[in-house]
Amino acid sequence: MSLHIGAMMPDRSLDESIFIKAITKVATDLARLRNQLVQQNTPVLDIIFLLPSRQEKADFAGLRLRSYDTAGQTLRIESAVPEKMVTSIHAERFVIAIMQDAIDAADLFFSEHAIPFNGSAHLALVDGLSRYK
């Protein structure tokens, strides 16, 4: 798959949070689209949601480019999840919005490095996820 999402949870009590349920739902919906051509090409965009806890939280707000693995052609982007979003009824919309922002950032990154990436096709794929709500 060309677009991946995941979460880093510093506390196991977050396992049943609204946010984790939203990520699980979006990941399931994304898996239904794995046969789409855009999901079968490289480079890979790996979006990691960093959830906060009392002991640990991201030291940044928004998104950051974490790394690019040339061998695996994988760009990892991290998103700091605001504490209020963990229990928000808008968690799924937040996940989708972050995915859209990450695709925009990836499009810029890949363009600057002359790596072919179809940002508009990825955005269309994410926009299609709303059909599964």
Q: Which pLDDT does position 14 carry in this prediction?
A: 82
Burial of 120 (0-12, 13-18, 19+ CB in 10 A): exposed
Does residue 115 surpass a pLDDT of 90?
Answer: yes
CA distance 85 to 110: 29
The structure's pTM equals: 0.91
pLDDT by residue (tens digit) across 3-61? 899 998 888 878 889 999 999 999 999 888 888 888 888 899 999 999 998 888 889 99
Going by C-alpha positions, the residue among 50, 67, 68 that lies closest to residue 59 is 50
**Confidence check: pLDDT of 1 > 70:** no
Average pLDDT over the chain reads: 90
Helix (H, G, I), strand (E, B) or coil at 68: strand
Count structural domains, the chain: 1
- What number of other Cβ atoms are within 10 A of residue 127's Cβ? 12
Identify residue 76 by its one-letter amino acid code.
R
- Domain of residue 79: give its range: 3-132
Quickly state the pLDDT bin for 66 (edges 50, 70, 90): very high
Question: Which amino acid, 23?
Answer: I
